[in-house]
């Protein structure tokens, strides 16, 4: 499948006249709990030729492609990516730490990674993960019967919040690392580990009776972080000049 993805990325470069700076896996495969029928969620950042940026008109800064049964692929223009990086955009911060890399060129990814600590804003990340957790919980995990596989889509962001609170650094992408470091209760750990093993084995996790120990934990944690995040300081403005320089140097390196 990797070769299929690389072929598609090269096809995008040719058809759109862009250079892809990096491309990574961003979904359940990167998180470490894919189902046997999970698609591939490929995300990339690209750069266009110099002339494209020398225009007063607003232009579309994303590339999106129809989702099929196997491949979900989309990308952001470098200017959009850098603008969101300045805001400590959590999805982009996760792309930078994905354990599955498909391509990388012109040293853009390496340079962006070196700037992560300077632009990282824990409050933005906690808001993002809390919003993700509460939305998925509300939609899938209320009632006596729940969509059991959706536990992971609430557990992962809640455990990321715990990591952010306890360590103040970017949480790992992989669910295993969050589980091992952020769940101390033996009963809760056992229930989550059991679900994880079932999912990794390819078992279809559909509607089943709710697991009270997990639901109770999630509800308590969501209530806690709704209060906790309000007390966090707002971030002082980060320098945009460094990112402007990175944009200009990458533009020159990619097309000259």
- What span, in angstroms and rounded, lies between the C-alpha atoms of 220 and 227? 11
The tokens for 173 are: 């992408």
Task: Please report, for residues 75, 125, 143, 198, the alpha-carbon distance to residue 122 in angstroms, rounded to integers and kept in the order given.
Answer: 24, 5, 32, 33
- What span, in angstroms and rounded, lies between the C-alpha atoms of 71 and 249? 32
- What span, in angstroms and rounded, lies between the C-alpha atoms of 202 and 149? 12
pLDDT in tens, 4-53: 999 999 999 999 999 999 999 999 999 998 877 788 999 999 999 999 99
pLDDT in tens, 81-109: 999 999 999 999 999 999 999 999 999 99
Angle at 142 between CA 140 and CA 144, to 5 degrees: 115
Chain-centre distance for alpha carbon 108: 18
Phi, psi angles (nearest 5°) of residue 107: 60, 10
The H-assigned helical ranges of 141-234 are 152-167, 175-182, 186-200, 212-228
């Amino acid at each position: 499948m990797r070769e299929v993805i690389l072929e598609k990325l090269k096809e995008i470069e040719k058809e759109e006249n862009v250079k892809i700076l990096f491309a990574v896996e961003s979904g359940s495969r990167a998180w470490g709990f894919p189902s046997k029928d999970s698609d591939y969620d490929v995300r990339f950042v690209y750069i266009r030729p110099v002339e494209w940026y020398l225009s007063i008109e607003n232009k579309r800064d994303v590339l999106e492609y129809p989702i099929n049964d196997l491949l979900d692929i989309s990308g952001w223009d470098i200017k959009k990516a850098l603008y969101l990086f300045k805001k400590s955009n959590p999805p982009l911060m996760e792309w930078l730490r994905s354990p599955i890399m498909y391509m990388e060129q012109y040293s853009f990814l390496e340079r962006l990674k070196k700037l992560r600590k300077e632009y990282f804003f824990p409050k933005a990340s906690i808001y993002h993960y809390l919003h993700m957790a509460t939305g998925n919980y509300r939609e899938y995990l209320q009632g006596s019967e729940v969509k059991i596989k959706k536990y992971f889509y609430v557990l992962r962001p809640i455990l990321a919040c715990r990591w952010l609170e306890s360590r103040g650094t970017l949480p790992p992408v992989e669910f295993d690392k969050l589980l091992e470091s952020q769940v101390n209760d033996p009963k809760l750990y056992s229930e989550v580990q059991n679900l994880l093993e079932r999912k990794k084995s390819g078992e279809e996790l559909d509607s089943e009776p709710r697991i009270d120990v997990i639901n109770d934990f999630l509800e308590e944690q969501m209530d806690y972080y709704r209060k906790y995040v309000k007390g966090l300081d707002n971030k002082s403005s980060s320098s945009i000049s460094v990112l402007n320089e990175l944009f200009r140097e990458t533009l020159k390196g990619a097309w000259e």
